[in-house]
Chain A
Amino acid sequence: MTIKSVFAGFGGQGVLMMGYMLALTAMRQGKNVTYLPSYGAEVRGGTANCTVVVSDDEIASPVASSPDIAVVMNNPSLLKYANLVRPGGIMLVNSTLVGSVVNRQDLNVVKVPATDLAHELGEDRSANVVMMGAFAQATGVLSLEAFSEALAETNLGKKPKVLELNRHALQVGADSARQALEAARSAASK
């Protein structure tokens, strides 16, 4: 199985860190993985994105022209990726900052107010970690526990207190995504 994910948002939202977390966690789980960030002039305008491919097989291309999953942290990113995600794919949306609506019926859109949740946690910068918790819950690519363990190897886990906060943020994100999915399911069954 090969899953291609893109992460996009403003510079400073920790978008590249999200991709790195996925790539690192996947590597620790024995998966093949590639991580490709946007670079150079592309990132000078204040937007950032990266592509992570996780696979059980050898990875041919680290580029995703039609990703399976898009994680969008701001409105411009939604507009950029809404039409690129493959039919049947997943779109994870930071609903605090994204106002636009995805007009596609063939996508699973999961809305998580990551920026608000991070604020409630008392650490605005942890919105990206909240979103990774939601990613684990909504996509099942890797388990929440795997992410939680891998956190310790990143800059987000260097200090025990910060690590604790970020592990909590992962959980908060996962809970939020579960609620969003359940709400969507019950809405569909009505």
Chain B
Amino acid sequence: MARQLMRGNHALGEAAVRAGCRYYFGYPITPQNEVPEYMSGRLLEVGGTFVQAESELASINMVIGASMAGGRVMTSSSSPGISLKQEGISYLAGLELPAVIVNMTRGGPGLGNIAPAQSDYFQATRGGGHGDYRCIVLAPASCQELCDLTIKAFDLADKYRNPVMILGDGMIGQMMEPVEFPEMTDLASLPAKDWTLTGAAGRPQRTILSLLLDPKVLENHNYKLVRKYDAVTLAETDWDTYLCEDARLVIVAFGTSARIAKGAIKRVREMGLKVGLFRPKSLWPFPTKPLEELSRVVRHLLVFEMNSGQMVEDVRLAVNGQAQVHFYGRPGGVVPTPEEIAHQISHYYYGAHLNEDGPSRARLVGGLS
């Protein structure tokens, strides 16, 4: 199929439909309004169901119901609305229901603004609601990747019976880029679900619940979730590297920040600075191990986020003191330019004498044996 020039929010909707999503429940909030707008029309065309709910709370609970009934279902919102959805997300995790939740993040806290931000990293990767659980969190950096990761999100949600969050931002949602879509998924080809509520016809009654009053039973359920999360971590951790082979300084950034960082790296490379990029594509599971391995060789990391420092904590945990971890961020919906990041990079690079080969080398010579 030919490339189409498409707005991120529309590309997301089209990708969802092509992934077999036939149910969408949502509530308007900027900057993701184009998602419900697109789904309302597109789902009509493919015989799906769109409901504009009375609130984000209602919409996430409709998602719970639709998922119980076996539908491929999605909801989307932006930061304040995602806060409202946290109740339902906790239930989705506890009930082990697949669903795709999209956060086109805006500036916060509170009403904040509608500019692109990455300040919901903690909320997304720590679970967000109450209880001991994880959402799989995917962070696209372009409209094409938004399409690809959305399709992947539906498969992961079904495979692990777990909520999957797409963590974008206002820019990814509003921006238009060329996108190439895959063919429509044949709904009949999707793996059958043997746990859904369809009526107890010819089989015993089924209950989908998270209320487990006996602590030992709930503990077992929690450990079952932990084993699932371990399996997800092993199989689904996803990241990208760029020019890390000779790097003395590696920028760690995700989503929009990562593409800005890449532009900055190209600039400083022209000046001879040996700088690379490490980009987590799955924020949970976080690519802890590959980053730890990288930090054995590269001793200086600069974490760049559009917030006041969130993912940097995961980076510090991953490298566990093996490397210097420096942070630069712009909160409040400010989108820094590649020039600004290039300036930050060179400032740090020369400040840490990474241009010199001294006794405390920036890079382990020869790498790991």
How long is the Cα–Cα vector from A70 to B28 in the complex, in angstroms? Answer: 32
Q: State which of B171, B264, B339 has its C-beta within 8 Å of the C-beta of A62.
A: B171
Contact with B along A22-65 (1 / 0, CB 8 A): 01100100001111110111100000000000000111111101
How long is the Cα–Cα vector from A61 to B266 in the complex, in angstroms? Answer: 13
Q: Which residues of B contact A (CB under 8 A)?
A: 3, 5, 30-31, 114, 170-171, 174-178, 259-264, 266, 335, 337-339
Q: Inside 8 A of B171's CB, which chain A residues have their CB?
A: 36, 62-63
Contact with B along A127-170 (1 / 0, CB 8 A): 00000000000000000000000000000000000000000000
| Residue pair A60, B263 in contact (C-beta under 8 Å) | yes
Contact with B along A63-74 (1 / 0, CB 8 A): 101000000000
Chain B CB within 10 Å, residue with most, of A23, A36, A42, A57: A36
Q: Inside 8 A of A20's CB, which chain B residues have their CB?
A: 5, 176
B232 to chain A, nearest CB (A): 30
How long is the Cα–Cα vector from A32 to B175 in the complex, in angstroms? Answer: 13
> Considering only CB atoms, which chain A residue lies closest to B178 in the complex?
A27
A1 to chain B, nearest CB (A): 13
Interface residues on A, range: 20 to 34
| Residue pair A40, B266 in contact (C-beta under 8 Å) | no
How long is the Cα–Cα vector from A62 to B263 in the complex, in angstroms? Answer: 11
> Considering only CB atoms, which chain A residue lies closest to B177 in the complex?
A34
| Residue pair A23, B114 in contact (C-beta under 8 Å) | no
| Residue pair A61, B114 in contact (C-beta under 8 Å) | no
| Residue pair A24, B5 in contact (C-beta under 8 Å) | yes
16 contacts across the A-B interface (CB closer than 8 A): A20-B176, A23-B5, A27-B3, A33-B178, A34-B177, A35-B5, A37-B176, A39-B170, A58-B259, A58-B262, A59-B259, A60-B261, A61-B337, A62-B175, A63-B337, A65-B337
How long is the Cα–Cα vector from A36 to B175 in the complex, in angstroms? Answer: 5
B192 to chain A, nearest CB (A): 40
Q: Inside 8 A of B260's CB, which chain A residues have their CB?
A: 60-61
| Residue pair B5, A61 in contact (C-beta under 8 Å) | no
How long is the Cα–Cα vector from A33 to B260 in the complex, in angstroms? Answer: 15
Q: State which of B3, B114, B178 has its C-beta within 8 Å of the C-beta of A39.
A: B114
How long is the Cα–Cα vector from A39 to B264 in the complex, in angstroms? Answer: 26
> Considering only CB atoms, which chain A residue lies closest to B340 in the complex?
A65
How long is the Cα–Cα vector from A24 to B179 in the complex, in angstroms? Answer: 12
Do A35 and B259 form a contact, CB below 8 Å, given A24-B5, A60-B266?
no
B258 to chain A, nearest CB (A): 10
Chain A CB within 10 Å, residue with most, of B3, B5, B260, B264: B5
Contact with B along A103-119 (1 / 0, CB 8 A): 00000000000000000
How long is the Cα–Cα vector from A59 to B339 in the complex, in angstroms? Answer: 13
How long is the Cα–Cα vector from A37 to B5 in the complex, in angstroms? Answer: 13
Q: State which of B5, B114, B335 has its C-beta within 8 Å of the C-beta of A33.
A: B5
Q: Inside 8 A of A60's CB, which chain B residues have their CB?
A: 259-264, 266, 338
B355 to chain A, nearest CB (A): 23
How long is the Cα–Cα vector from A34 to B266 in the complex, in angstroms? Answer: 18
- Shortest 5 CB-CB contacts between residues of A and residues of B: A60-B263, A35-B176, A40-B30, A40-B114, A60-B338
A151 to chain B, nearest CB (A): 14
A63 to chain B, nearest CB (A): 5
How long is the Cα–Cα vector from A63 to B334 in the complex, in angstroms? Answer: 11
A29 to chain B, nearest CB (A): 11
Chain A CB within 10 Å, residue with most, of B3, B178, B259, B263: B178
Q: A24-B5, A61-B337 are in contact. List 18 more A-B contacts (CB 8 A).
A: A23-B5, A23-B176, A27-B178, A33-B178, A34-B176, A34-B177, A39-B31, A39-B170, A42-B114, A59-B259, A60-B260, A60-B261, A60-B266, A61-B259, A61-B263, A61-B338, A63-B171, A65-B339
How long is the Cα–Cα vector from A60 to B336 in the complex, in angstroms? Answer: 11
B249 to chain A, nearest CB (A): 18
B221 to chain A, nearest CB (A): 42
How long is the Cα–Cα vector from A20 to B263 in the complex, in angstroms? Answer: 23
Do A33 and B177 form a contact, CB below 8 Å, given A20-B5, A61-B338?
yes
Q: Inside 8 A of B170's CB, which chain A residues have their CB?
A: 39
How long is the Cα–Cα vector from A58 to B175 in the complex, in angstroms? Answer: 15
> Considering only CB atoms, which chain B residue lies closest to A31 in the complex?
B178
| Residue pair A61, B31 in contact (C-beta under 8 Å) | no
B16 to chain A, nearest CB (A): 21
Chain B CB within 10 Å, residue with most, of A34, A41, A59, A60: A60
Q: Inside 8 A of A34's CB, which chain B residues have their CB?
A: 175-177
Q: Inside 8 A of A61's CB, which chain B residues have their CB?
A: 259-260, 263, 335, 337-338
> Considering only CB atoms, which chain B residue lies closest to A25 in the complex?
B5
Q: Inside 8 A of B259's CB, which chain A residues have their CB?
A: 58-61
Q: Inside 8 A of A58's CB, which chain B residues have their CB?
A: 259, 262
How long is the Cα–Cα vector from A27 to B337 in the complex, in angstroms? Answer: 23
Q: State which of A23, A27, A39, A65 has its C-beta within 8 Å of the C-beta of B174.
A: A39
Q: Which of A78-121 contact B (CB under 8 A)?
A: none
Q: Inside 8 A of A41's CB, which chain B residues have their CB?
A: 30, 114
Q: Inside 8 A of A63's CB, which chain B residues have their CB?
A: 171, 335, 337
How long is the Cα–Cα vector from A60 to B142 in the complex, in angstroms? Answer: 10
Q: Inside 8 A of A36's CB, which chain B residues have their CB?
A: 171, 174-176
